[in-house]
Amino acid sequence: MPSKIEWTNETYNPITGCTPISVGCANCYAKRMSKRLAGRFGYPAAPHNFDVTIHRDKMDLPYSWRKPRRIFVCSMGDLFHETVPGRWIEAVFDVIRHTPRHTYQILTKRPERAKKLSFLWCDDGKPISNVHLGVTSENQKQVDIRIPILLQIPASVRFASIEPMLGPVDIRKHLPYEIDSGGFDPQGFPISLGRRPGLDWIIVGAETGPGKRPMDLNWARSARDQCQAAGVPFFFKKDSDGNEELDGRLWHQFPERATE
């Protein structure tokens, strides 16, 4: 269905439900929303409304979307949750493979399982072009745990969602940078050995809803400045008051391959 999430066009939820795995899960918006949907639209009745659930009737939905779209996969859960049977994850990627006109944005807190299953979106070790894989990294601890695993996984775009942003983060070592050979060409310019791969995109946003934990705008500014220095697109979603602007402007940047 059309999404109000600023960095995507549609949500695709053939699998819903999840369980807490880190401090960022404390005020989960998807769990909160599932309570409103309990017993309807295929969601189990309370108190099982956020149990991991397969929605077979929604599996083929992207085939009906003719116009190319950015599609957030499993916005109401985690595709790589440990209780999701592998055959259903494979079924999702079968749909993704057969709808190359769409760009699929997959966000997980479980990159370890994603790494084990990366063969589902790779051919001879090379990723298909319409899979964009990201990890939620709400604080420095999760930046240091999840992003290094993500960077070991093939994907045409790899991104981090620092939302809810619960503290300052240093992501510089996970961003691309020029590798200096230490030498100079005949004109006296430094010789580069190339650009070391890293994250292709960063999303930052504050927590919302009841019990929200405030985000210091200086944390967001620091992440923005790190991205600018590395030439990495930066997307600022919202601050703690719901404002989309950071220092008087929108930062709705996308990686080049995500604008199709």
210-232 pLDDT, tens digit per residue, is 999 999 999 999 999 999 999 99
> What's the rounded Cα separation, in Å, for the pair 42 and 103?
25
pTM over 0.85: yes
- Average pLDDT in the chain: 92
**pLDDT band, residue 156 (cuts 50/70/90):** very high
**pLDDT band, residue 181 (cuts 50/70/90):** low
Residue 206 has pLDDT above 50, yes or no: yes
**pLDDT band, residue 192 (cuts 50/70/90):** very low
Residue 255 has pLDDT above 80, yes or no: yes
- The domains of the chain are located at 10-258
CB-neighbour burial class of residue 128 (10 A; exposed 0-12, middle 13-18, buried 19+): middle
Looking at residues 47-71, what average pLDDT do you find? 97
Residue 260 has pLDDT above 50, yes or no: no
Residue 195 has pLDDT above 90, yes or no: no
> What's the rounded Cα separation, in Å, for the pair 230 and 218?
18
Looking at residues 144-148, what average pLDDT do you find? 98
Its sign, for the CA torsion 77, 80, 82, 86, is positive
Looking at residues 139-156, what average pLDDT do you find? 97
